[in-house]
Amino acid sequence: MIIFSVLWFTFAYLSISHMVWYWDGPDAYTSAKAADIANSHAGFIFQKGALDFAGGTVVHIDAAMAGIVGAFMVGKRVGYGRDPITPHNLTFVLTGVGLLLFGWYGFNAGSSLEANGLTALIILNSTIAAAAAALAWTGGEWIFRGHPSLLGGASGAVAGLVAITPACGFVGPGGAILIGIAAGFICLWAVVGLKAKLGYDDALDVFGVHCIGGIIGALGTGILVNPALGGVGITDYTNITGNNAGTYDFATQMIAQGKAVGATLLWSGIGSAILYKLVDVIVGLRPSVEAEREGLDLTDHGERAYNM
């Protein structure tokens, strides 16, 4: 796990970070020639015009693709689909989601690099998107499964945080609510329906929440950045004769967002498969069946998590 983490961080995370976020900054656009130079070595996805405020592609789609590739390459846990495997501790789950929500304010709002009105908007958007998604997820459970659940509410809140991440500084509060609702319902379907249909073992539903939620957020950003829908519009720094803040073209922006999603899926998916195979050759990807049945706390570390 440590070997893969170091390799993935180096070759997947840093690469996508550069593609999405690297540019010389607005001060570099002092003339048409300077703008051309700045654009020529900006990140690949940045050059396409894609928007990602705090890491929907960089963090969530990127990491979740590594997760789903790993789920297929490592394989299912012993007894998966046959033996009951229940959530470990729902109290810890809810506590962890509360800590995540608190930390997400630094994750999203900290990406503005300053404390001002935009930062306040980001905090508001992050909060209400998480709330909307939690309500949508539990509402979906209530409709289709007969009852809401604590695990569902917690999962929905995380899905909403994931989805609002790329959009948090670009959309208004109404847009944040719509993104949260979409994330709650669609991620619930991915976790319950898509996972069963594809048959993979994703213990923490990383793909269903983070990849699907990240895609919802990335595409939702392209729609809801529209000033007519409460968004901030697009600032064109290449136009040195005037700041084109608030301009927007639906087709252009959605194509850019789609390219960002596609590039991230391919880069992380293919790259992660290569890295998993490399780790498999070096040390192997999973323990023996006997070690897995006995428990990795004992076989890897010689200690128990709990004394019963």
Whole-number Å distance between alpha carbons of 218 and 96: 25
Give percent above pLDDT 70 in the chain.
97
Can you tell me whether residue 50 is helix, strand or coil? coil
pLDDT of residue 112: 92
DSSP 8-state symbol, 54: S
CA-nearest of 65, 34, 29, 61 to 45 is 61
Confidence (pLDDT) at 242: 56
Residue 244 contacts residue 235 (beta carbons within 8 Å): yes
Are 169 and 53 within 8 A, CB to CB? yes
Paired with 90 in beta bridges are: none
CA distance 257 to 222: 6
Name the band, by pLDDT with cuts 50, 70 and 90, for residue 29.
confident
Please determine, for residue 289, whether its predicted confidence score (pLDDT) is greater than 80. yes
Domains (range + CATH), the chain: 2-301 (1.10.3430.10)
In the prediction, which pLDDT does 280 show?
97
This prediction's pTM: 0.94
